[in-house]
């Protein structure tokens, strides 16, 4: 960024302003609910009865606004995307408020007030963001806070970078021109820009015109050969971006980290936002705990029926391979006869799934009740305890038995770079109807590479019709 401190202050100002908007929205919502009392059946108490919601909402919305990096790329987002983000934040905020009311048994709290609060907060946040975008756009068009850039490298990639930067929403970047590895190129045209000189001329160019950032795209040679130029530019306060072309073919994302006083390039396929992963974990624990409490009568009844229907324990335990090869005990309602694992070898010839996994539609080991539990996916419910414990997530690649994972090809193990889940893309795309093991693994890798909280929400929503329709369940 042009000025990281100023950017940090601006982001902090966005956060404080939006938090004040949310808190003000609660007071507006109360007044709206009071003035429309005739529309509702439940009576509304005095404001003092609800003031405890203000600090609670402040904590919840602070986490939802700050932790998932909602201000990252603020100016480059469209109004529609800002509206979607504000909507997701307010829906999650309402859900969490309802959860707090339920957990602490605040049954006198008017639920309609929380719903009106969520709606008003959404309108307030969306309006605030649209106004902020309009102000920032006007501010930038006047020439303030613009990032002046020089591109080091005249190849086609450099031209594409220049065009992409100037096409950024909000007109933040302005490209002055190029510098070339060969000083003899000075003066020639590259697209609609000029070559201002050679790489070594950068300090002189920055002395006669404003240069905030330099993007170096060396065509070859060791990266160390650019070290002297980088030091000269950084001495003048410019930000340098050095392209690491030799490493761009890797699947992993590159990050720079420090360990024991040294700098290391970190190659990782894990999701970029650790804060979003924290939100995912918090939502997992809250949702799984709530479902275990709400479904406890059903769980007890199913456990009793399994126990009465056939010999053996009600809950089946199996060693499964979890995140990055961690072994854990998975819990399911038993759907097969006792000792079914010992009979698997005799059924291998009937396996209907390609690859190391074993699945057959008419498995003779499955009990009558077990078929019903599998069809309705009720047998998976004890895994909510695995979610609470931290072995699993609500959404993630399905954990497989250790003896199946041991037969994986190396590329297939990357699916385990995220915590395994109860539901996943494979689950909502037909489950056992996807008979190609490679296709199943590709779906899991697609999830790992595309992961976001929004994708998790989409999968959860798609899981409902998949379960109710019993697609591919057996």
Q: Concatenate the DSSP letters of all residues of 149-199 into one string.
A: EEEE--SHHHHHHHHHHHTSTT--EEEEEEEESSGGGTT-EETTEEEEEEG
DSSP symbols for 363-411: -TTB-HHHHHHHHTTGGGTTHHHHHHHTS-EEESSPPEEHHHHTT--GG
Q: Count CB-CB contacts under 10 A for residue 455.
A: 14
- The residue whose two tokens read 């970029």 is 272
| C-alpha distances in Å from residue 268, one per residue of 66, 321, 324, 446, 463 | 24, 20, 12, 16, 29
Range(s) of the chain covered by CATH 3.40.50.720: 147-249
* Segment 125-156, tens digit of pLDDT: 999 998 888 777 766 666 566 788 999 988 88
Q: How far apart are CA 96 and CA 92, in angstroms?
A: 6
Q: Are 359 and 353 in contact (CB under 8 A)?
A: yes
Which residues in 157-309 belong to E strands, given as ranges?
173-180, 189-190, 193-198, 213-216, 239-242, 253-259, 262-268
pLDDT 10s digits, 306-330: 999 888 999 999 999 999 889 999 9
Chain centre to alpha carbon of residue 314: 36
For the beta carbon of residue 384, count every other beta carbon within 10 angstroms. 22
In terms of Cα–Cα distance, which of 473, 444, 468 is closest to 361?
Answer: 473
Q: For the purposes of burial, counting CB atoms within 10 Å of the CB of 262, is it exposed (0-12), middle (13-18) or buried (19 or more)?
A: exposed
Query: Could you tell me which of 56, 66, 58 has the C-alpha nearest to residue 99?
Result: 56
- 327: part of which helix (H) or strand (E)? strand 327-333
Is residue 213 within 8 Å of 186, Cβ to Cβ? no
With contact defined as beta carbons under 8 Å apart, do 235 and 209 qualify? no
Q: 10 Å Cβ neighbour count for 184?
A: 9
Fold of 147-249: Rossmann fold (3.40.50)
| C-alpha dist (Å) from residue 274 to 68, 253, 453 | 9, 14, 12
End-to-end CA distance of the chain: 54
- DSSP secondary structure of 27-80: HHHHHHHHHTGGG-SS----GGGTTTHHHHHHHHHHHHHHTTTTTTTGGGS-HH
CA distance 186 to 180: 7
Per-residue CA distances from 39 to 34, 42, 284 (Å): 10, 9, 36
Indicate the pLDDT class of residue 3, thresholds 50, 70 and 90: very low
- 22: buried, middle or exposed (CB in 10 Å: 19+, 13-18, 0-12)? buried
Residue 30's pLDDT band, with cuts at 50, 70 and 90, is very high
Residue 395 φ then ψ, to 5°: -125, 130
Among the residue ranges 31-40, 68-77, 363-372, the one predicted with the least confidence is 68-77
**Per the structure block, which two tokens stand in for 165?**
């930067």
How far apart CA 416 and CA 409 sit, in angstroms, is 13
Is residue 1 very low, low, confident or very high in pLDDT (cuts 50, 70, 90)? very low
> What is the SS3 assignment for 243?
coil
- pLDDT-derived band of residue 474, with 50, 70 and 90 as boundaries? low
> Can you give the pLDDT at residue 73?
66
Q: Could you please report the per-residue DSSP string of 77-133?
A: S-HHHHHHHHHHHHHHHHHHHHHHHHHTT-TTS-HHHHHHHHHHHHHHHHHHHHHHH
Place 181 in a pLDDT band, splitting at 50, 70 and 90: confident
Residue 405's nearest CA partner among 308, 304, 300, 325 is 325
Joined tokens for residue 95: 């859900």
pLDDT tens per residue across span 381-423: 999 999 999 999 999 999 999 989 999 988 898 899 899 999 9
148, 212 contact by CB (below 8 A): yes
Go through the chain and tell me how many residues it has: 474
pLDDT tops 70 at residue 374: yes
The pLDDT confidence band at residue 255, using thresholds 50, 70 and 90, is: confident
pLDDT at 5 over 70: no
432 band by pLDDT with thresholds 50, 70 and 90: low
- Tell me the mean pLDDT in the region 32-37: 88
């Amino acid at each position: 960024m042009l000025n990281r401190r100023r950017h940090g202050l601006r982001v902090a100002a966005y956060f404080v302003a939006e938090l004040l908007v949310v808190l003000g929205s609660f007071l507006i919502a109360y007044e709206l609910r009071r003035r429309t009392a005739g529309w509702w059946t439940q009576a509304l108490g005095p404001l003092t009865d609800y003031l405890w919601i203000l600090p609670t909402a402040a904590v919840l919305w602070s986490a939802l606004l700050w932790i998932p990096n909602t201000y990252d790329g603020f100016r480059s987002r469209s109004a529609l995307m800002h509206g979607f983000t504000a909507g997701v934040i307010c829906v999650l905020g309402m859900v969490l408020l309802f959860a707090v009311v339920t957990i602490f048994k605040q049954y006198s709290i008017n639920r309609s007030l929380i719903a009106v609060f969520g709606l008003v907060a959404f309108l307030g946040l969306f309006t605030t963001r649209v106004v902020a975008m309009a102000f920032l756009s006007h501010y930038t068009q006047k020439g303030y806070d613009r990032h002046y850039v020089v591109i080091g490298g005249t190849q086609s990639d450099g031209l594409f970078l220049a065009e992409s930067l100037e096409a950024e929403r909000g007109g933040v970047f302005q490209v002055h021109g190029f510098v070339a590895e060969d000083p003899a190129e000075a003066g020639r045209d590259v697209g609609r820009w000029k070559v201002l000189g050679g790489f070594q001329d950068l300090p002189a160019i920055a002395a006669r015109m404003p240069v905030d950032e330099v993007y170096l795209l060396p065509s070859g040679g060791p990266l160390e050969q650019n070290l002297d130029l980088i030091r000269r530019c950084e001495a003048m306060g410019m930000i340098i971006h050095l392209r690491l072309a030799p490493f761009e073919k890797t699947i992993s994302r590159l990050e720079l980290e420090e360990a024991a006083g040294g700098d290391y390039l970190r190659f990782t396929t894990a999701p970029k936002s650790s804060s979003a992963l924290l939100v995912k974990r918090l939502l997992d624990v809250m949702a799984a705990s709530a479902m275990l409490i709400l479904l406890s009568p059903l769980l007890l009844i199913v456990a009793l029926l399994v126990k009465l229907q056939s010999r053996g324990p009600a809950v089946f335990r199996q060693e499964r391979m979890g995140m990055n090869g961690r072994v854990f005990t998975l819990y399911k309602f038993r759907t097969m006869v006792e000792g079914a694992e010992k009979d698997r070898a005799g059924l291998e010839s009937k396996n209907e799934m390609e690859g190391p996994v074993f699945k057959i539609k008419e498995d003779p080991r499955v009990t009558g009740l077990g078929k019903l539990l599998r069809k309705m996916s009720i047998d998976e419910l004890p895994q909510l305890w695995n979610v609470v414990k931290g072995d699993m997530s609500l959404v993630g690649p399905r954990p497989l038995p250790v003896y199946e994972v041991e037969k994986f090809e190396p590329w297939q193990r990357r699916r385990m770079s995220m915590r395994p889940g109860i539901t996943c893309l494979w689950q909502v795309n037909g489950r056992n109807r996807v008979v190609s093991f490679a296709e199943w693994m590709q779906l899991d890798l697609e999830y790992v590479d595309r992961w976001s909280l929004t994708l998790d929400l989409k999968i959860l929503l798609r899981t409902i019709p998949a379960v109710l329709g019993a697609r591919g369940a057996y």
